[in-house]
Chain A
Amino acid sequence: MEYIAELAPFTGYVYPNETVIPWTVLIVVYPYLTGLVAGAFTVSSLYQVFGMQRFKPVAHFALLTSLCLMLFVPVPLLLHLGHPERAFNAVITPHVTSAFAVFGYAAGFYVILLMLESWFVFRPHIVLQAQEEKGLPGWFYRVLSLGSYDLSEKAIRYDQKWIFALAVIGIPAAHGLHGYVGFVFGSLKSREWWSSDLMPAIFLFSAVISGTALLIVLYVLSCRLRKIPVDLECVKGLAYTLWGFFMFTLVLEGVEFASLVYRGREGTDVIMEYVAGPLLVPFFILQFGIGSLIPLALLTFMIWRGTTGRALIAGVTASAVLVLLAVLMMRWNVVIGGQEISKTGKGLLAYSPMIFGRESLLAAASVLVAPLAFLLVMVRLFPPWADAASYYASQPRDKR
């Protein structure tokens, strides 16, 4: 008999079929990735659509990050499926009442949109490389250029129009793509912990903060690696964005939790027992305490005091790392937490993840790291830095 790794010990009464947890750590990683995609794209569009110049240093980098993450979004799903070779059934015969089927098309649309926008944004670089590079890289850029080296004013104007249009369409597309993940959980009648109208909004706003936080960390890291000074206005702007959306996210999550407890529908006794017991560490300590209160306090303090310079960068980066943890824990507490409360409303289960295997912590970690490794390659091929020239020229040492 194959070892059933997701076998869950339980207390109280649970349905016999519930003793195997269906959605595990890979399904935690999947909304986390799409959230990062949506969040990174939002930051990029702050510059592309809303014209906020302070975000210029990260705008194109955000777009590239969004693209790299988006390409890896199907991976945790394919690893989880019982028959990944049949995955296209959902695209060939999509059942339109199912959020998953809609995802197939929404994700496909969004990936194409991201690729198009990136192509337009990096077109000058592509054309340049197509003309200069030899051999395989040269061939690569020539194919991408579609055989046209037109960088005239007229062409650039067209490109800018396309970029703007794509960025505008991309905002609802990205948010729809991630909002639907919330709908996947929120629309179900079977679990009290999931069933909520606020789910899509909560997922969305926590996505924006996770993307912003990721960009903060990656941008500061990239500046260190490139040995150039961090753009303080940009980091401040990102901090404001993070702070604003974060407060709203906390309000939404708080309201949802309060409603659940206040309504006291079937299962609330068990929910409270769960929250006070097994959920204490992942929810109250990790997500709420360490992941939310500390960065919120830190950011509020720095914004209030007008912190700048090294202190600002350190503080904002630290907050960003904690926010990334908080959002990961939020996904964990929704996906895993939701399944640890039985559908009977009378029992609790305990999930302990595998370390190795198809649906294991190692697989989840790999899926999280892989897009970042891919990003490392992509920034070589398509340098997104606003100060692109400095990427090529040899650098004076950082004088700071």
Chain B
Amino acid sequence: MKPEAITSLVARRAFLRKIGRAATCAGAIAGAGAFGVMQKAAAKSVPAPSRGSFPTPDYDWTQHRWGFGVDATKCIGCLRCVEACKRENNVPADAHHFNTWVERYVYLEGETKARIDSQSDPQNIAASGSEKQYRFDNRYQAAKVEKAFFVPKLCNQCEHPPCVQVCPTGATYRTQDGVVLIDSKYCIGCQYCVQACPYGARYFNVRTRVSQKCYWCYHRITKGLQPACVEACPVGARIFGDRNDPQSPISLFIRNNRVQVLRPETGNAPNVFYVGIDKEVG
């Protein structure tokens, strides 16, 4: 053979050997990968159990449509709801994170704008003596009060929630029975939802490092109980029920009253209905 032919033959063989080695390595990796993928494919192709009654065997979310009412003419500002909620739902025990809260509106004689404060106001925290216990101080007891009232607030579980809209991962979502929940195992803690909520209902939990908010005590309502705040309220300022049932407290509340929602112009269509709020409540 010609020397050039031999050289090229040698080169070709060397090249083929190299290729062969590379191919074997690649093949091994590809094979392992493919095996893993096939396992996953097998798992995924098993049809999701026709879930039947979801989320629990005793509770079918397609049968319920939850609603919440607030009668601000009854609220006495005792804040038992706020403390009950904190106890029930692992809300951080300080004055900066609340699933639900109460606002106080006071119009003094001669003033056109309301003086507004909540239980987080430093003066009120001083009056209660602790960041874990709440009470409104009595700063207006000697003042000429023209009109004053309390307004409990909580997540409105909107029909078109802006928080769900902005969540990048799908960690927050609306259930079929009308509650907006947070999947705390999936949330990445970007806090976009906290920014998007016009009502200030959401916050970032520093300990769990995910977002959190009122969820109408979903773990209670799916067991036939009421949310903790509704249970705690001594004067019936909070009303809860199933709007699918025309005789439920909430259905009666909506039917028998002229109800309002907060910030209707945002287009969120909230599901917390207020009676007895005023022009400045937003």
Interface residues of A (CB under 8 A from B): 1-2, 4, 7, 12-20, 22-23, 77, 80-84, 86-87, 89-90, 93-95, 97-101, 103-104, 184, 188-191, 266, 339, 343-346
Contact = CB atoms under 8 A, between A and B. Distances in A.
Contacts of A16: 95-98, 101, 118-120, 200
A244 to B, nearest CB: 33
Interface stretch (B2-10, B34-42, B164-172): B164-172
A22 B194 contact: yes
B192 to A, nearest CB: 6
B47 to A, nearest CB: 20
Given A82-B189, A89-B188, 10 more contacts: A13-B117, A16-B95, A16-B96, A86-B187, A95-B169, A95-B170, A98-B166, A184-B192, A188-B195, A190-B162
Nearest to A345: B282
Interface range, B side: 35 or more
Nearest to A86: B188
Nearest to B194: A22
A97 B165 contact: yes
A83 B168 contact: no
B189 A83 contact: yes
Contact of B200 (A12, A17, A95, A101): A17
A87 B119 contact: no
A89 B97 contact: no
Contacts of A90: 168-169, 188
B197 to A, nearest CB: 6
A94 B94 CA distance: 34
Contacts of A104: 168
A83 B165 contact: no
Contacts of A7: 96
B210 A82 contact: yes
Contacts of B46: none
Contact of A20 (B97, B266, B268): B97
Interface in B60-100: 92-98
B188 A82 contact: yes
A12 B208 CA distance: 30
Contacts of B171: 89
Nearest to A1: B94
Nearest to B210: A82
Interface string B213-252: 0000000000000000000000000000000000000000
Contact of B96 (A4, A12, A84, A103): A4
Contact of A98 (B165, B187, B268, B282): B165
Interface in B167-210: 167-171, 186-192, 194-204, 206-210
22 contacts: A2-B207, A13-B103, A13-B117, A14-B200, A16-B101, A16-B118, A19-B96, A22-B194, A81-B188, A81-B190, A86-B169, A94-B169, A98-B166, A98-B192, A99-B166, A100-B168, A103-B168, A190-B196, A190-B198, A191-B195, A343-B198, A344-B200
B19 interface: no
Contacts of B103: 13
Nearest to B119: A16
B247 to A, nearest CB: 35
A94 B170 CA distance: 7
Contacts of A1: 92-94
B116 A13 contact: yes
Nearest to B207: A2
Nearest to B102: A16
A17 B190 contact: no
7 closest residue pairs by CB, A with B? A82-B189, A15-B200, A82-B209, A100-B168, A13-B116, A16-B120, A101-B168
Contacts of A19: 95-96, 120
A97 B198 CA distance: 18
A98 B97 CA distance: 25
Contacts of B169: 86, 89-90, 93-95, 101
B203 A17 contact: yes
Contacts of B197: 190
A84 B196 CA distance: 21
Contact of B198 (A81, A95, A103, A189): A189
A98 B191 contact: no
Contacts of B199: 15, 343
Nearest to B202: A17
A87 B195 contact: no
Contacts of B196: 188-190
A17 B97 contact: yes
A22 B165 CA distance: 18
Contact of A18 (B95, B200, B207, B211): B200
Given A17-B97, A18-B200, A97 B119 contact: no
Contact of B195 (A12, A20, A190): A190
Contacts of A184: 192
B200 A93 contact: no
A270 to B, nearest CB: 12
A83 B198 contact: no
A93 B97 contact: no
Contacts of B202: 17
